Chains A and B, each alone.
Chain A
Amino acid sequence: MKNRFSLIIIIIFLSLCFIIFYKGLNNSNIYTPKINTRDNIPTFKAKDFNSNIYINSKKIFEEDIFYIVNIWASWCVPCRTEHPLLMELSKNQSIKLIGLNYKDNLKNAKNFIVKFGNPYSQIIVDSDGTLSVEFGAYAVPETFLIDKNKIIIKKFVGPINREIIEEIKLIIK
C-alpha cells in the first residue's frame, strides 16, 4: 500500500516536471517586457530638436488628445520602413506625434527629416538614451500610444506596420 502511494507521488512529480519543462522549452527564451501597459507618462525636461530650448513634459502633452511617442534615429534602418506610415498617421487630427530622437547626430537627424518628411508635431532630443529608459524603452524604433488621461496604453516594440496603424486608428476613433 505504502509502496503504491510512493509510486503515485513519484509519477505525479515526474509528470509535473515533464509538463513544466515541455511548456518551458516551447516558450521563447528571449524576454520582452509587457506591451499592454497602463503607466503614467514620465515627467521630464528635454531639449527641443529645432530650438535647443529645454521643454517640460507637461508642456509637450498639454492638449486633451491622444499622443504617439515614437523613438527614432537617423541611423536606424527599421525607422525608415515605418516613416511613411507615421507620415500617414500624422494627417489624423485626433492624434499628435512626438518624436524622440535617440542617440543621434543632430545633422544626420535633420537630414533624415528633410529627406523623408516630418510627421512629428514636436521632436525632443535624447542624446544619452536616459529619456527612453524613463519611458521603458530598450530598442529603436519603439512607439508608445498615450491616451487623453496621459496614460501609456500601448507599446509597440520594433517598426510599426499597417496592422498597428489600423489598431491605433481604431483606438483613437
Chain B
Amino acid sequence: MKILKLLIIIFLFVGFFQLKSDEKNDEIKNKILKNIRCLICQGQSVYDSESDFASSIKLIVDRKINEGLKEELIYQFLRERYGDWIVYDPELNKKTYILWVLPLLLFLLGGVIIRKKLKFRN
C-alpha cells in the first residue's frame, strides 16, 4: 500500500514537471512564432497566419524546440534559408548596422542642436 502511495506521488510529480516543461516550451514557441514574418501573407506574423507556409514553420519550430535547439539557433536556421527579413527583430550585423546606429546618431545630433540653441539663448 505504501509503495502504491509512493508511486502515485512520484507519478503526480513527474506529471506536474512535464506540464511545467510543456508550458515553458509553448511560451518559447509562441515568442518565436510572433517574431517570425509570414512570407506568404506579408505583414502578418507566422503566429497569426493560417497559411500553408506558416503551418509548416510552426511544425518546424515545434520540432526544433523539442530537439533542444535554443531560440537564437532557430532564428539562425530560418535566416539562413529566408534571409534576415524573416525575423521581425533584426540582429546587429553588417547589413543592419545603419538601421540600428542611425536613429541613435540622429538622436545625438538632435541633442547637440538643442543644447547649442539653449546655450545660445542663455
Contact = CB atoms under 8 A, between A and B. Distances in A.
A130 B59 contact: yes
A137 to B, nearest CB: 9
Interface string A135-167: 110110000000000000000000000000000
14 contacts: A31-B39, A31-B85, A33-B81, A33-B86, A39-B80, A39-B81, A128-B59, A129-B52, A129-B56, A130-B59, A136-B81, A136-B82, A138-B39, A138-B82
B42 interface: yes
Interface of A: 6, 29-31, 33-34, 39, 103, 128-130, 132-136, 138-139
B76 interface: no
A173 B90 CA distance: 40
Contact of A132 (B37, B56, B83): B56
B83 A33 contact: yes
- Is chain B's interface secondary structure helix, strand, loop, or mixed overall? helix
A39 to B, nearest CB: 7
A74 B55 CA distance: 19
A129 B55 contact: yes
Contacts of B59: 128-130
B60 A133 contact: yes
A119 B63 CA distance: 32
B81 A133 contact: yes
Contacts of A31: 37, 39, 42, 83, 85
- Is chain A's interface secondary structure helix, strand, loop, or mixed overall? loop
Given A130-B56, A139-B53, 16 more contacts: A6-B113, A31-B39, A33-B82, A33-B83, A33-B86, A128-B59, A129-B52, A129-B53, A130-B60, A130-B63, A133-B60, A134-B81, A136-B80, A136-B81, A136-B82, A138-B82
Contacts of A39: 80-81
Contacts of B7: none
B96 to A, nearest CB: 15
Interface string B61-83: 00100000000000000001111
B57 interface: yes
Contacts of A130: 56, 59-60, 63
Given A129-B52, A136-B81, A30 B63 contact: no
Nearest to B37: A31
B10 interface: no
Nearest to B63: A130
B8 interface: no
Contacts of B83: 31, 33-34
